[in-house]
């Protein structure tokens, strides 16, 4: 969370993610901004119309693991 908030903070310098805004902050975040999501994996997600973390949350863990592998899913 700290890493993601730091990216959002630029150029103002600070961005606070609180318990109350955590879900909204993550849901609106593009999946490409998540650590470990490179170009190839992003293309795989795009092929399933997954663009944001909110889109990603619509899928179950077993489905994600089946589609993208146990570790990545």
Mind listing the pLDDT tens digit for each residue in 45-57? 999 999 999 999 9
Q: Name the pTM for this structure.
A: 0.75
Proportion of the chain in helix, strand, coil states, percent, rounded to 5: 50, 5, 45
Could you report the per-residue pLDDT of 11-58, keeping only the tens digit for each? 777 777 888 888 888 888 899 988 889 999 999 999 999 999 999 999
Sign, Cα dihedral of 2, 52, 73, 19: positive
């Amino acid at each position: 969370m700290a890493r993601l908030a730091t990216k959002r903070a630029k150029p103002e310098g600070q961005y606070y993610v609180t318990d109350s805004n955590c879900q909204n902050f993550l849901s609106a975040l593009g999946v490409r901004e998540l650590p470990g999501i490179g170009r190839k994996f992003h293309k795989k997600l795009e092929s399933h119309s997954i663009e944001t973390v909110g889109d990603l949350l619509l899928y179950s863990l077993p489905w994600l693991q089946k589609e993208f592998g146990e570790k990545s899913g």
